Structure 1
Amino acid sequence: MFQLLDETTRERIDCPVQRVLKQGAVFGRSTPATLVSRPGRERIVVTSSAPIHDQADSIIGVVLVFRDITENRKLEAELHKASKLESLGLLAGGIAHDFNNILTGIFGNVSLAKMLAPSDRQIQERLERAEQACYRAKEMTGQLLTFARGGAPIKRLKAVPQLVKESCDIAVLGSNVHCEFSYAPDLRPVEADPAQIAQVLNNLLLNAVQAMPEGGNIKVRAENIPAGTRPGLPSPGADYVRITIQDQGPGILPEHRARVFDPFFTTKHKGRGLGLATAYSIVRKHDGLIEADSKTEGGATFHVYLPASAQSTAPETEDASNLSSGQGRVLVMDDEPEILNFCHVALKRLGYQAELARDGEEAIRRYRDARESGRPFSAVIMDLTIPGGMGGKEAIKHLLELDPRARVIVSSGYSNDPVMAEFRKFGFLGVVAKPYEIRELAKVLQQVIES
């Protein structure tokens, strides 16, 4: 009727009934075993058995109890996966932070070199390629931080066609798949974390490409969804933008549709089952919704709903040569010499006078001395965390006690830190996430000083 196997070695275990009949005593295995039924179904069980006695104390049978712990084992495995995922997340966050610090020095100096180098076509082309490589590295660290992050997204006003086009170009690269775009003429912009939403779109588009190994078309549509016209959205009174991605693959099997967003669920041989789960988490953090639809003949369709921005149009792309110059004194606090060096040169190029500090205590001292000497700082840029010293999160409290009107910008390689997403709650007036280059630095400085 059944057989018992050792859970580890898969060797057959003697039937406990025979052992009880022979010894006449209660018997229980100290370790679980694998129970194989006649149809071949396997369960993990804990066994115990005891003799049945008649009035004459003779053994007339055996009670055999199997306690099924299969689901417990699955839960233990999931908890183990979650623990490993958390450890990997911490490791990814630490690597991304250190890499962002290094990348700021590279990225910043390349942007400076483009300004300072002669207008030789070959030199400028080399620097353009170096800058593009920095952007790709920035996207990669953004993905690492998304994997590690627990904080809110850092939202910026973005045009949906720009977000979708960039992700499509990356997803179809080297494949025989093409994207067909269709946008509503009055499509609203969205306020979103560009790196996070890019990861969502990349996951969906790469899945679509992989579903069509022989090639095909991906239909990408974006349209406005007025408030109240689509039940089930997180904010019923808000307008949304719906991005639809439809492939021509085999679609999603009916039995899989309810689980496609579950962590660790995958139908791919080498998949980790994290892509759609991560996409679901990111969209939810944006007060949005992601859902899957599938027809046997029509392929898989995913809908991503993001809150529409109250602003009517997204800002136009800035001219790379148009820098926001200014004047005044700027204090920069960071523990990385390369970043301090870049900021000193960049600020001078932008028309500011720069003073540098290595930690929060030194920054507070320099700020106090500058006020007392009648040469106050127009703005302060503070690194959020300083290993072994006072970081920006603590220093801002002391600085605002000294000067409640201090204009302070927070910066960090940990762009997933809650302080970066909600910087105003902590007393900062601006934010610049590492890695950054001279244009970003110029823009945020102008905004904060003029505020």
Structure 2
Amino acid sequence: MDYDISNQQLHKELERLQQRITALENEAEIRKTYVKLLLKEKEMLAITLRSIGDGVITTDTQGLVVMMNPVAETLTGWNIAEAQNKPLREVFHIISEKTGKEVENPVQKVLDTGLIRGLANSTLLISQEGNSRVIADSAAPIIDTITGQILGVVLVFRDVTHERKLELEVARAEKLESVGILAGGIAHDFNNVLTSIAGNIWLAKLATKDQKSLKVEDLLAEAESQTFRAKELTHQLLTFSKGGAPIKKISSLQELVRETAIFALHGSNVRCVFALPEDLWVVNIDTNQISQVINNLIINADQAMPEGGIITITAENVLANSVVRQDEPMLLKTVDYVKVSIQDDGIGISQEALTKIFEPYFTTKSSGSGLGLATSFSIISKHKGFLGVTSKLGKGATFFLYLPALSGEVVAPFEKDSGEKLVSMYGGKVLIVDDQNDILVLLKRVLGLVGYEVVTALDGAMGIELYREALESANPFQAVILDLTIPGGMGGKETIQHLLAIDPQVKAIVTSGYSNDPILSNFEAYGFKGALSKPFKFLELREKLDAMLA
């Protein structure tokens, strides 16, 4: 009996072993199948990666290179045998095209956040051989679908150097065409200005020959006015071509807006209605540039009403904590500002055009460069303000600009210079350095007329020697006027440094025909006490000298 039981147990054990062997054989077959599938998938992946035109690199969670395709090898200069298990930063070396500084590793960003990340524009990939390419890329996490854990990162990137060159060529061609259109328009206006100046001077010459019907003072005043109109035209061209920084001073907008608008509408069948409160806060602005913006907006409004009409110009103080209106940008809610609105009842602007109206070269006019509003937007942005528009077709348009205000401060309305203020309150000895002898002669006459003793020099080196000699004598210079650019000689930027070394208390004004030069907008950082762009009003020069000496 016991023997039979043992045989039965042995038989069962044999059956169990047979089942186990069968299960293992089945499992082995399944594993073989999986291995075949994995090998096939790996082969397909390899074929896919080889056929992709973009570079592909995968890393583990430590940011070490696991795999890279042939395109990635070509772009980086590393082959997979060299790169495997190396830190990605060593293989994929990227820097900013603008600054030359190393760019943050995109793979590390993905590992830290678990999100897909892309590179900033203007990123350069530096290959192992030192070659540089402009690239665009994105990095994404490799996630285990069962556990949800990040297993690594896949980085995909492509060479966009050729596309960038094409974009630059197209942009350059468009800008050259636009500059040509702008230059043609400015040349037209400039010739008109010169015609007016020449005509008024000719009439003034006649008036000196007993032509009683002509008043010399009026004729010369008009010639002077047109001269500064010419300055505005050249300033507009410089602002567009160079993007000049604002030369700011504390100003009131009432008279600036009023005078610019009236001037822009000379000869037009459109008139302005003003609502400019007397308690408007002052702003720190470049008056020439803001006048240019107002001029552009008024001309746009005028052209929108070919049959004539009314332009309504309003201004108001807006507190930072005031209720947000539809047209107020949230980015300006942290400061107080002054808002100026220019409203017309013209043809209006389509919704499609509204989205592009501040883009360079965009225009809805048959003849126009499309630069006026783009330049205006740039100017307001450089003043840390905002320029916007609301409109509907057939309902007119309202342009509105915001300028950061010196809240609580109000200045008296602008007063024109008068002959009673001609003579300086201070006078004194002034050194003028300029390479143009005719300007030296003119300034010597003008400043001599208002009470200053003037000494001149044709370059900085001569001016420094004159200043040193005067300082050692009993009659030093009270002020210095330095031209910024002196071809072939020492200009104002270098000269002021030598003068400061000689006399830390030197009082100097910098002048330049390049009204967009950054030194003019930040003159104090270079050691100057004031700045003037040429041509300037001579009473303005006298006022700056008086203020500096005071």
TM over 0.5: yes
Amino acid at match of 1:300: A
Preserved CA contact (<8 Å) 1:190 1:308: yes
Q: CA deviation at 1:327?
A: 2.6
Rounded Cα–Cα distance in structure 1 between residues aligned with 2:465 and 2:416: 37
Match of 2:31 in 1: none
Rounded Cα–Cα distance in structure 2 between residues aligned with 1:74 and 1:211: 33
Q: CA deviation at 1:156?
A: 2.6
Rounded Cα–Cα distance in structure 1 between residues aligned with 2:174 and 2:306: 30
* Residue of 307, 310, 315 corresponding to 1:222: 315
Match of 1:278 in 2: 375
Q: CA deviation at 1:443?
A: 0.5
Amino acid at match of 2:305: M
Query: Within the alignment, does 1:353 sit opposite 2:450 as a pair?
Result: no
Query: Within the alignment, does 1:300 sit opposite 2:397 as a pair?
Result: yes
Rounded Cα–Cα distance in structure 2 between residues aligned with 1:380 and 1:87: 39
Q: CA deviation at 1:144?
A: 2.5
Preserved CA contact (<8 Å) 2:181 2:368: no
Match of 1:258 in 2: 355
Preserved CA contact (<8 Å) 2:232 2:288: yes
* Residue of 386, 394, 397 corresponding to 2:494: 394
Match of 2:440 in 1: 340
Query: Within the alignment, does 1:413 sit opposite 2:510 as a pair?
Result: no
What SS does the aligned partner of 2:528 have? coil
Match of 1:246 in 2: 343
Q: CA deviation at 1:376?
A: 1.1
Rounded Cα–Cα distance in structure 1 between residues aligned with 2:468 and 2:331: 47
Seen in structure 2, the aligned counterparts of structure 1 residues 315 and 442 have a Cα distance that, compared at 3 Å, is: farther
Seen in structure 2, the aligned counterparts of structure 1 residues 141 and 325 have a Cα distance that, compared at 3 Å, is: farther
What SS does the aligned partner of 2:267 have? coil
Q: CA deviation at 1:76?
A: 4.4
Range 332-341 or range 220-229, more displaced: 220-229
* Residue of 243, 250, 268 corresponding to 1:157: 250
- State the Cα deviation string for residues 307-343 of structure 1 (Å, max 9, x = none): 2234321464143211234232110000111110011
Runs of 4+ in 1 over 4 A off after TM superposition: 69-76, 83-89
Rounded Cα–Cα distance in structure 2 between residues aligned with 1:363 and 1:75: 44
What SS does the aligned partner of 2:387 have? strand
Rounded Cα–Cα distance in structure 1 between residues aligned with 2:462 and 2:493: 15
Amino acid at match of 1:128: A
What SS does the aligned partner of 2:494 have? helix
- State the Cα deviation string for residues 398-445 of structure 1 (Å, max 9, x = none): 111111111111111112101001100000011122112331121111
Match of 1:313 in 2: 411
| Corresponding residue pairs, total | 362
Range 156-165 or range 201-210, more displaced: 156-165
1:76-225 equivalence runs, <5 A: 76-82=169-175, 122-225=215-318
Rounded Cα–Cα distance in structure 2 between residues aligned with 1:285 and 1:200: 12
Match of 1:288 in 2: 385
Preserved CA contact (<8 Å) 1:184 1:223: yes
What SS does the aligned partner of 2:400 have? strand
Q: CA deviation at 1:276?
A: 0.8
Preserved CA contact (<8 Å) 1:251 1:300: yes
Q: CA deviation at 1:216?
A: 1.4
Rounded Cα–Cα distance in structure 2 between residues aligned with 1:312 and 1:198: 19
1:319-334 equivalence runs, <5 A: 319-321=417-419, 322-323=421-422, 324-334=424-434
What SS does the aligned partner of 1:246 have? strand
Match of 2:59 in 1: none
Match of 1:268 in 2: 365
Match of 2:525 in 1: 425
Amino acid at match of 2:343: Q
Preserved CA contact (<8 Å) 1:384 1:410: yes
Seen in structure 2, the aligned counterparts of structure 1 residues 160 and 387 have a Cα distance that, compared at 3 Å, is: same
What SS does the aligned partner of 1:308 have? strand
Query: Within the alignment, does 1:371 sit opposite 2:471 as a pair?
Result: yes
Seen in structure 2, the aligned counterparts of structure 1 residues 75 and 255 have a Cα distance that, compared at 3 Å, is: farther
Q: CA deviation at 1:74?
A: 7.3
Seen in structure 2, the aligned counterparts of structure 1 residues 380 and 85 have a Cα distance that, compared at 3 Å, is: farther
Seen in structure 2, the aligned counterparts of structure 1 residues 87 and 404 have a Cα distance that, compared at 3 Å, is: farther
What SS does the aligned partner of 1:445 have? helix
- State the Cα deviation string for residues 331-375 of structure 1 (Å, max 9, x = none): 000011111001111222222211110001000011111112232
Which consecutive unaligned segments of at least 5 residues does structure 1 have? 1-68, 114-119
Preserved CA contact (<8 Å) 2:387 2:399: yes
Rounded Cα–Cα distance in structure 1 between residues aligned with 2:418 and 2:238: 27
Rounded Cα–Cα distance in structure 2 between residues aligned with 1:286 and 1:391: 28
Preserved CA contact (<8 Å) 2:430 2:480: yes
| TM-score normalised according to structure 2 size | 0.61
Amino acid at match of 1:219: T
Greater Cα radius of gyration, structure 1 or 2 = 2
Higher helix share: 2
Q: CA deviation at 1:189?
A: 2.7
Preserved CA contact (<8 Å) 1:233 1:288: no
Seen in structure 2, the aligned counterparts of structure 1 residues 79 and 433 have a Cα distance that, compared at 3 Å, is: closer
Preserved CA contact (<8 Å) 1:158 1:314: no
Seen in structure 2, the aligned counterparts of structure 1 residues 362 and 263 have a Cα distance that, compared at 3 Å, is: same
What SS does the aligned partner of 2:215 have? helix
Match of 1:382 in 2: 482
Amino acid at match of 1:272: S
1:20-31 equivalence runs, <5 A: none
Amino acid at match of 1:215: G
Higher relative contact order (CA 8 A, sep 6+): 1
Rounded Cα–Cα distance in structure 2 between residues aligned with 1:267 and 1:88: 15
Preserved CA contact (<8 Å) 1:157 1:315: no
Identity of aligned residues (%): 44
Match of 1:46 in 2: none
Rounded Cα–Cα distance in structure 1 between residues aligned with 2:168 and 2:519: 34
Seen in structure 2, the aligned counterparts of structure 1 residues 314 and 87 have a Cα distance that, compared at 3 Å, is: farther
Seen in structure 2, the aligned counterparts of structure 1 residues 287 and 70 have a Cα distance that, compared at 3 Å, is: closer
Seen in structure 2, the aligned counterparts of structure 1 residues 377 and 293 have a Cα distance that, compared at 3 Å, is: same
Preserved CA contact (<8 Å) 1:157 1:314: no
| TM-score normalised according to structure 1 size | 0.73
Range 389-398 or range 196-205, more displaced: 196-205
Seen in structure 2, the aligned counterparts of structure 1 residues 407 and 318 have a Cα distance that, compared at 3 Å, is: same
Preserved CA contact (<8 Å) 1:184 1:224: no
Q: CA deviation at 1:207?
A: 1.2
Rounded Cα–Cα distance in structure 2 between residues aligned with 1:86 and 1:401: 43
Rounded Cα–Cα distance in structure 1 between residues aligned with 2:227 and 2:507: 29
Seen in structure 2, the aligned counterparts of structure 1 residues 71 and 267 have a Cα distance that, compared at 3 Å, is: farther
Seen in structure 2, the aligned counterparts of structure 1 residues 206 and 309 have a Cα distance that, compared at 3 Å, is: same
Amino acid at match of 1:373: S
Q: CA deviation at 1:234?
A: 4.6
Rounded Cα–Cα distance in structure 2 between residues aligned with 1:88 and 1:223: 36
Seen in structure 2, the aligned counterparts of structure 1 residues 271 and 316 have a Cα distance that, compared at 3 Å, is: closer
Which consecutive unaligned segments of at least 5 residues does structure 2 have? 1-161, 206-211
CA RMSD of aligned residues (A): 3.2
Match of 1:61 in 2: none
Range 149-158 or range 343-352, more displaced: 149-158
